Structure 1
Amino acid sequence: MGHRCTPPPQHRGQHSARPGSKVPVIDPFFWGQPSGIWQQLVTWVTQGTAQGPLWEQIAVTLEEAIIGFAIGVVLGIVFGVVLGRNRFLADVLGPYVKAANSIPRVTLAPLFAIGLGLGIQSKVALAVVLVFFIVFFNAFQGVREVDRNLLANARILGASQQKLTTAVILPSAL
């Protein structure tokens, strides 16, 4: 007869937890406790962090995000409209833009930190890249899908290329 996997009936449950005993289900070394997280947040708000007051840290982060967002939006719209209006440029630069877009964003953060340092430049650059491709592809597709009849009517009325872009294409695309 082979060995039994389960203990005999008289020994079952001897090494299991007793009712009312504490069994460490989650080791606090590996998992934070909500009460400890709350206490740390209160400490940061009232006494500040090791790098200074929490509100200054939040202000710096918002500044980096807003600057990166603004630059990314402007660059995305400009490049999207230019490439959307110029078929040759779109054909030449399109594969490079798509290749750059395929790079995982999470891999860019350490590259920017190494190349640009830990200052505001690396964070702004990451925000620019995060925003640029979203805005670029939307602007590019929007310019490509402007109603051709609307463009033809504006040309018949004597609209120049600049007026066509500012008065017809941009409002229709964005």
Structure 2
Amino acid sequence: MPDKQRQVITNRVAFLETKIPSYAAVLGITVLLVLWEIVCRLGIVPPLFLPAPTAILTAGWDMLVSGELYEDLAASLVRIGGGYAVGASLGIIFGLILGFSRWTDAILTPIVYSIYPIPKIALLPLIILWLGIGETPKLAIIALGVFFPVVINTFSGVKNVDPMLIKAAVTFGSNHFNVIRKVILPASLPMIFAGLKLAAGTSLLLLVSAEMIAAQQGIGSMVLHYGNLMITTKLMVGVLVLSLLGLTFNRVLQWLERKLVPWK
């Protein structure tokens, strides 16, 4: 290989391996907020349409002091926490069963893939009819939205497990339970976490939609209420809270993935 070509390859490898500083994300967000504030201060966009970040923070502080934000946030956290936990747990279990059993794969996988494309929020009126008015329908619609991304990713993870690993475990006398627990589940974890991250965004979307349709408290209900009143500063507080919730969920899942899948 010529020296010039070798140098080009070396430079490309070095570029790919360059570590991004930890403050890069904070820097990007700070620049965006500063530009946003400047645009609002100069009056380029009317405050009714786009309030300044400082005005949003002031409104958020007032809502914290009054306790209004705590009540709405607590209601939303209970709903999304319960719905996400149920949907993710059932999705992982069901995905493992689908991937491990040929019979369940042949019978149930077509059903899963036929229901998955249906917008889950469209089923909320039907779920309310079945389960009544209250918290149960909201938890159910979130769990339903979380279930499908998790079950599909878990199923794909199981199907992509190296068959030689399974054969080796069976050869050494492992039963079905141990094969699932010690071989299939660990090998499927990267795909499972991919499904969990995807489901986190879906759960937030369904939470807001359900609260806008059938709730008196919650972040979604708060956003709709202040939108109707055209109080955009408090509306943007709700949007900011939802953004922080999504970021927090992602960070928690990344931390769990590093702990449970260290080889990745």
Aligned length: 144
Which structure carries more helix by proportion? 2
Segment drifting more, 38-47 vs 162-171:
38-47
Matched, 1:96 2:111: yes
- 1:116: how far off? 2.6
Q: Which residue of 1 is the match for residue 94 of structure 2?
A: 79
- Aligned CA-pair RMSD: 2.6
Q: 1:27 to 1:118 in 2, by over 3 A?
A: farther
Q: Which residue of 2 is the match for residue 54 of structure 1?
A: 69
Q: Which amino acid aligns with 2:51?
A: P
- 1:27: how far off? 10
Matched, 1:136 2:151: yes
Q: Which residue of 1 is the match for residue 176 of structure 2?
A: 161
Matched, 1:34 2:45: no
Secondary structure of 1:109's counterpart equals: helix
> Structure 2 length as normaliser, TM-score?
0.48
Matched, 1:110 2:129: no
Q: 1:136 to 1:157 in 2, by over 3 A?
A: same
Aligned partners of 1:27 and 1:117: how far apart in 2? 43
Q: Which amino acid aligns with 1:63?
A: V
Q: Which residue of 2 is the match for residue 16 of structure 1?
A: none
Aligned partners of 1:78 and 1:45: how far apart in 2? 40
| Contact 2:86–2:143 under 8 Å retained in 1 | yes
Secondary structure of 1:34's counterpart equals: coil
Aligned partners of 2:129 and 2:59: how far apart in 1? 30
Q: 1:32 to 1:85 in 2, by over 3 A?
A: same
> Structure 1 length as normaliser, TM-score?
0.71
- 1:95: how far off? 1.7
| Contact 2:83–2:140 under 8 Å retained in 1 | yes
Aligned partners of 1:33 and 1:152: how far apart in 2? 60
| Contact 2:154–2:188 under 8 Å retained in 1 | yes
| Contact 2:91–2:150 under 8 Å retained in 1 | yes
Deviations 1:65-89 (A, max 9, x none): 0111111111001110111111111
Aligned partners of 1:67 and 1:46: how far apart in 2? 27
Match of 2:85 among 50, 62, 70: 70
Q: 1:108 to 1:38 in 2, by over 3 A?
A: farther
Q: Which amino acid aligns with 1:47?
A: S
Aligned partners of 2:120 and 2:151: how far apart in 1? 16
Unpaired stretches in structure 1, ≥5 consecutive residues:
1-25
Secondary structure of 1:103's counterpart equals: coil
Aligned partners of 2:129 and 2:46: how far apart in 1? 35
- 1:110: how far off? 3.2
